[in-house]
């Protein structure tokens, strides 16, 4: 382990709470071990270390994130996402494959959606790399397809609406819950910016969209 990773562990271990860990593990369907540290306490303990860390390169940043990802307790994956988000300006579109590789490890909505925000920030800053999401949309793992569907969250007027609609059409036939939920989330997010466009798109899609996707998309219309 690197010095940074050791400092993170030293900050987290005194906060471990066995009873909270049981509840957190149950909430995540017993898929992961937990220390039992809630998000506010986790961030209070680790954010000073994350802010003080000065990665010399994208490779060093990703390596530190991977080292945290390898640790057993789930909180360390959350800290890895916090680390990447804090230093996202060090990253570029060429680092998207490494971030997608992280997403494939210990995959669940919490870690995947955290990485979505990191990748979305990178791709919004350099839209020439956005075609990587076109390839991600065809990936055999549905978590990677979910990332593709969600990567424009929060882009508002910078959203590539044609890409959003095309991704929706391509994923609409899927039965996977997390894909259907992602479709609705992505459309609902853009509806805050242009509700008329989403109303028209939902009308055009008709029953091609699952009830879940449609309900999520129209939640605030």
Can you give the pLDDT of all 221 residues of the chain as single tens digits? 999 999 999 999 999 999 999 999 999 999 999 999 999 999 999 999 999 999 999 999 999 999 999 999 999 999 999 999 999 999 999 999 999 999 999 999 999 999 999 999 999 999 999 999 999 999 999 999 999 999 999 999 999 999 999 999 999 999 999 999 999 999 999 999 999 999 999 999 999 999 999 999 999 99
141 is a domain residue: yes
166 is a domain residue: yes
- Record the pTM: 0.96
191 is a domain residue: yes
Q: Which domain holds residue 147?
A: 130-220
Residue 73's closest CA among 36, 114, 127?
36
CATH number of the domain that 186 lies in? 1.25.10.90
53 is a domain residue: no
Residue 69's closest CA among 117, 5, 18, 10?
5
Beta-bridge partners for 73? 33
194 is a domain residue: yes
Cα 161 vs. chain centroid, distance in angstroms?
20
Look at residue 170 in the predicted model and tell me its pLDDT.
Answer: 98
Q: Which residue has the tokens 């699952």?
A: 210
Look at residue 177 in the predicted model and tell me its pLDDT.
Answer: 98
Q: State the first-to-last Cα distance of the chain, in angstroms, to the nearest integer.
A: 49
Residue 86's closest CA among 133, 110, 113, 50?
50
CA distance 216 to 32: 28
111 is a domain residue: no
60 is a domain residue: no
Phi, psi of 25 (to 5 degrees): -65, -40
Which alpha helices (H) appear in 172-210, and where do they start and end? 177-191, 195-205
Look at residue 119 in the predicted model and tell me its pLDDT.
Answer: 98
58 is a domain residue: no
CA distance 72 to 35: 9
Q: How many domains does the chain have?
A: 1
């Amino acid at each position: 382990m690197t010095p940074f990773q050791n400092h993170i562990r030293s900050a987290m271990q005194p906060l471990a709470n066995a009873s909270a860990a049981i509840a957190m593990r149950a909430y995540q369907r017993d898929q992961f071990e937990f220390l039992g540290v809630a998000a506010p306490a986790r961030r209070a303990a680790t954010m000073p270390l994350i802010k003080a860390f000065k990665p010399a390169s994208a490779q060093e940043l990703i390596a530190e994130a991977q080292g945290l990802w390898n640790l057993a307790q789930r909180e360390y994956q959350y800290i890895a996402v916090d680390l990447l988000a804090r230093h996202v300006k060090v990253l570029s579109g060429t680092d998207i494959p490494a971030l997608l590789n992280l997403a494939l490890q210990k995959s669940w909505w919490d870690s995947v959606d955290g990485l979505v925000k990191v990748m979305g920030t990178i791709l919004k800053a350099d839209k020439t790399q956005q075609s990587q999401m076109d390839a991600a949309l065809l990936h055999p793992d549905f978590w990677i397809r979910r990332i593709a569907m969600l990567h424009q969250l929060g882009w508002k007027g910078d959203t590539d609406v044609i890409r959003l609609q095309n991704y929706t059409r391509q994923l609409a036939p899927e039965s996977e819950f997390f894909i259907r939920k992602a479709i609705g989330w992505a459309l609902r997010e853009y509806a805050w910016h242009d509700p008329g466009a989403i109303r028209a798109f939902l009308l055009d899609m008709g029953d091609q969209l699952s009830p879940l996707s449609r309900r999520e998309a129209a939640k605030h219309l």
